[in-house]
């Protein structure tokens, strides 16, 4: 693709990101923009970003190559080779989101550009105006809670102080476990262990995590699993998005004497006025005055994983940590994503030109979207940014690791259709960055 074509795409993406964000903000604030608003957000800011990109590129090109030393120095010791990225099989996946209770429904909503936040009917900001949210209509069922509360009380877990958001998140998680435990039973052989790894919200207490794990194991037994063949394993420490990537690496490197199916589950809910008030107080809430803020969301997503010998799509992932928070960065920097993508592609012997799509957990914030687009524009120029690059963040809002696992679920669907390999990007978190390659069944064996 010619340089001028890539430049044209970058221009369209930049203006599209700013225009979309501005329209989204004005619509949420229910006000008409002033003339200065139109000039600033629709013309001046996009042009400033494009000018900065051009200057940075020209500066990089103009830098002279370092002069060769007069005397050859002793060769530096070769750096240690990074550990190999073992593969995991994606046996099944499930989601519970505002825009669909199945992966197919979520994919259809995203492709139709319908997967976005809306004004909440109950939640308000500190000025009393409705806030934008991603509320799951099916959450908050009184009948479900009437079953869960007595069971937890019978297990001595009645004092864990679950609030409204805890119950909503746990209800969504229960639907995922019921669906995937039922699917796992079809793949299980005698003696198979179903291991559940819940990625609970970061602000849940240890007691709340324990209670949730016990309940989710109970849900699995209701789906037909024997109690002795269900185990709950704690997730790695840290924020859910980082923990999810760390977990994938740990699971891929483990060996088991007995057959094991692992259900990795992310769930969260920020649909609670107290949580919204907290976000407003610390300046992280999305409002008309703060368009780069976070949108309260909720949802659940789960992956059923096995070893790579299983005849299903596989994933291999690499992750890293940014030097500085993306929230405080002065400019968009996709360097970490580029390095991770190069590593997983080299590890899997997949050419960049063979990548058929990119799915990221990026939300509506312009720097997260532009970071994803920079990876696609510079390293995967054969992709159509309007068709082949998708984001799950707007469909989930702020909901921990749910957008990343939902992205992996969409990539699995893509691979099942035989459409080729997919890069899944985790860049919604301020610090954590991860890239996973999902490819059709048989690709791992073919590459070895």
Q: What is the per-residue pLDDT across 84-103, written as a single tens digit (0 to 9) for each?
A: 788 899 999 999 999 999 99
| Beta carbons of 280 and 290 less than 8 angstroms apart | no
At CA 71, angle to CA 65 and CA 72, rounded to 5?
80
Residue 354 contacts by C-beta under 8 Å, 6 or more apart in sequence?
420, 421
At CA 361, angle to CA 357 and CA 364, rounded to 5?
110
Considering the domain architecture, whether residues 113 and 166 belong to the same structural domain is answered as yes
In this predicted structure, what is the pLDDT of residue 189?
82
Assigned domain for 98 exists = yes
| pLDDT surpassing 70 at residue 66 | no
| pLDDT surpassing 70 at residue 209 | yes
Considering the domain architecture, whether residues 37 and 157 belong to the same structural domain is answered as no
Considering the domain architecture, whether residues 118 and 142 belong to the same structural domain is answered as yes
Looking at residue 63, the DSSP 8-state letter turns out to be S
Distance (Å, rounded) from C-alpha 32 to C-alpha 379? 39
Nearest-CA neighbor of 230 among 264, 261, 251?
A: 261
Assigned domain for 80 exists = no
In this predicted structure, what is the pLDDT of residue 268?
97
| pLDDT surpassing 90 at residue 123 | yes
| pLDDT surpassing 50 at residue 68 | no
| pLDDT surpassing 80 at residue 72 | no
| pLDDT surpassing 90 at residue 176 | yes
Assigned token pair, 72: 């050859």
Which helix (H) or strand (E) element contains residue 130? strand 130-133
Considering the domain architecture, whether residues 280 and 320 belong to the same structural domain is answered as no
Considering the domain architecture, whether residues 295 and 352 belong to the same structural domain is answered as no
In this predicted structure, what is the pLDDT of residue 33?
65
Considering the domain architecture, whether residues 140 and 236 belong to the same structural domain is answered as yes
Looking at residue 180, the DSSP 8-state letter turns out to be H
At CA 203, angle to CA 197 and CA 204, rounded to 5?
55
| Beta carbons of 345 and 307 less than 8 angstroms apart | no
Assigned domain for 65 exists = no
In this predicted structure, what is the pLDDT of residue 193?
93
| DSSP three-state, residue 308 | coil
Residue 137 contacts by C-beta under 8 Å, 6 or more apart in sequence?
98
| pLDDT surpassing 90 at residue 217 | yes
At 355, give phi and psi (nearest 5°). -75, 125
Distance (Å, rounded) from C-alpha 329 to C-alpha 108? 34
Task: Choose one of 307, 328, 347: the last residue of a domain.
Answer: 307
Distance (Å, rounded) from C-alpha 120 to C-alpha 422? 33
Assigned domain for 382 exists = yes
Which helix (H) or strand (E) element contains residue 277? helix 273-281
Distance (Å, rounded) from C-alpha 317 to C-alpha 379? 18
| Beta carbons of 169 and 298 less than 8 angstroms apart | yes
In this predicted structure, what is the pLDDT of residue 37?
56
Assigned domain for 71 exists = no
Task: Choose one of 307, 341, 371: the last residue of a domain.
Answer: 307
Identify the domain containing residue 188 by its residue range: 88-307
Considering the domain architecture, whether residues 180 and 278 belong to the same structural domain is answered as yes
Considering the domain architecture, whether residues 119 and 220 belong to the same structural domain is answered as yes
Tally of domains within the chain: 3
Considering the domain architecture, whether residues 263 and 328 belong to the same structural domain is answered as no
Considering the domain architecture, whether residues 99 and 176 belong to the same structural domain is answered as yes
Task: Choose one of 265, 286, 307: the last residue of a domain.
Answer: 307
Q: Count Cβ atoms below 10 Å from residue 151 Cβ, excluding itself.
A: 13
Which helix (H) or strand (E) element contains residue 435? strand 432-439
Assigned domain for 66 exists = no
Assigned domain for 57 exists = no
DSSP bridge pairs for 197: 264
| pLDDT surpassing 50 at residue 73 | no
With left for phi above 0 and alpha for psi between -120 and 50, is residue 284 left, alpha or beta? alpha
Assigned domain for 361 exists = yes
Assigned token pair, 59: 């500066």
Assigned token pair, 113: 């550009």
Q: Which of 10-24, 206-220, 299-313 has the lowest mean pLDDT?
A: 10-24
| DSSP three-state, residue 70 | coil
| pLDDT surpassing 90 at residue 158 | no
In this predicted structure, what is the pLDDT of residue 67?
43
Distance (Å, rounded) from C-alpha 191 to C-alpha 212? 25
CA 218, 298, 210, 305 torsion-angle sign:
positive
The separation between the first and the last C-alpha atoms of the chain, rounded to the nearest angstrom, is 31
With left for phi above 0 and alpha for psi between -120 and 50, is residue 400 left, alpha or beta? left
Alpha helix positions (H), 308-423: 335-348, 366-379, 393-396, 402-416
Distance (Å, rounded) from C-alpha 335 to C-alpha 208? 38
| pLDDT surpassing 50 at residue 194 | yes
Considering the domain architecture, whether residues 174 and 211 belong to the same structural domain is answered as yes
Tell me if the pTM is above 0.85. Answer: no
| pLDDT surpassing 70 at residue 45 | no
CATH number of the domain encompassing residue 412:
3.40.47.10
Considering the domain architecture, whether residues 325 and 300 belong to the same structural domain is answered as no
């Amino acid at each position: 693709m010619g340089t001028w074509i890539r430049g044209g795409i970058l221009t369209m993406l930049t203006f599209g990101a700013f225009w979309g964000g501005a329209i989204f903000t004005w619509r949420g604030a229910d006000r008409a923009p002033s003339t200065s608003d139109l000039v600033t957000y629709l013309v001046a800011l996009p042009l400033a970003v494009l000018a900065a990109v051009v200057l940075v590129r020209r500066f990089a090109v103009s830098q002279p190559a370092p002069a060769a030393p007069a005397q050859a120095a002793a060769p530096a010791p070769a750096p240690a080779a990074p550990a190999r990225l073992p593969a995991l099989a994606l046996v099944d996946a499930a989601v519970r989101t505002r825009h669909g209770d199945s992966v197919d429904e979520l994919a259809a909503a995203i492709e139709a550009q319908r997967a976005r936040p809306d004004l909440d009917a109950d939640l308000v900001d500190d000025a009393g105006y409705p806030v934008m949210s991603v509320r799951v209509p099916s959450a908050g069922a009184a009948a479900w809670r009437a079953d869960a509360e007595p069971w937890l009380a019978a297990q001595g877990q009645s004092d864990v102080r679950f609030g409204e958001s805890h119950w909503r998140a746990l209800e969504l998680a229960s639907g995922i476990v019921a669906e995937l435990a039922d699917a796992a039973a079809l793949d299980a052989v005698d003696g198979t262990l179903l291991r559940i790894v819940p990625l609970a919200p970061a602000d849940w207490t240890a007691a709340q995590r324990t209670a949730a794990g016990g309940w989710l194991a109970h849900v699995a037994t209701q789906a037909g699993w024997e109690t002795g063949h269900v185990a709950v394993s704690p997730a790695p420490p840290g924020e859910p998005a980082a923990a999810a990537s760390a977990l994938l690496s740990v699971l891929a490197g483990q060996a088991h004497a007995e057959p094991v199916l692992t259900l990795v589950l992310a769930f969260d809910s920020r649909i609670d006025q107290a949580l919204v008030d907290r976000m407003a107080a610390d300046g992280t809430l999305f409002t008309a005055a703060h368009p780069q803020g976070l949108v309260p969301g909720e949802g659940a997503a789960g992956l059923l994983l096995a070893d790579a010998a299983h005849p299903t799509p596989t994933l291999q992932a690499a992750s890293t940590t940014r030097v500085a928070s993306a929230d405080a960065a002065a400019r968009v920097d996709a360097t970490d994503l580029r390095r991770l993508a190069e590593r997983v592609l080299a590890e899997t012997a997949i050419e960049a030109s063979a990548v058929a799509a990119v799915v990221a957990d990026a939300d509506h914030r312009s720097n997260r979207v532009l970071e994803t687009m920079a990876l696609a524009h510079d390293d995967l120029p054969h992709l159509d940014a309007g068709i082949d690059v998708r984001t799950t963040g707007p469909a989930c809002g702020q909901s921990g690791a749910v957008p990343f696992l939902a992205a992996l679920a969409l990539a699995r669907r893509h691979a099942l259709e035989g459409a080729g390999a997919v890069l899944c990007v985790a860049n919604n978190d301020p610090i954590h960055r991860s890239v996973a390659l999902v490819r059709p069944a048989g690709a791992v064996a073919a590459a070895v």
